[in-house]
């Protein structure tokens, strides 16, 4: 078994209103050094497979279910073997 974390975020070209709102709130706290905030989501998925098949399984899951490719992109990280 392999635990995978799939991160889904807006593409660079897509405006992130929630990220902008959070950045403005951080600035109101006096932290003007923050120049950008990007909001996303992640999915922890446990796969009953070996590490050789993880990439293709994650691609299929992301492509068909988790990611709206008009607005979003994804990355993933193998967390640990369960």
pLDDT tens track for 16-74 = 999 999 999 999 999 999 999 999 999 999 999 988 999 999 999 999 999 999 999 99
Higher pLDDT, 43 or 1: 43
Print the domain residue range for 63: 2-81
Number of domains in the chain: 1
Q: Residue 4's closest CA among 78, 55, 74?
A: 78
Query: What CA–CA distance (Å, rounded) separates 56 from 29?
Result: 43
Residue 79 has pLDDT above 60, yes or no: yes
pLDDT in tens, 3-12: 999 999 999 9
What's the CATH code of the domain at 35? 3.30.1280.10
With a threshold of 0.75, does the pTM exceed it? Answer: yes
């Amino acid at each position: 078994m392999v635990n995978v974390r799939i991160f889904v975020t807006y593409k660079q070209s897509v405006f992130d209103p929630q990220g902008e709102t959070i950045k403005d709130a951080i600035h109101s706290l006096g932290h003007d050094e923050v120049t950008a905030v990007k909001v996303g989501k992640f999915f922890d998925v446990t796969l009953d497979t070996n590490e050789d098949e993880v990439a293709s399984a994650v691609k299929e899951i992301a492509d068909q279910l988790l990611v709206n490719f008009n607005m979003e992109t994804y990355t993933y990280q193998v967390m640990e073997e369960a």
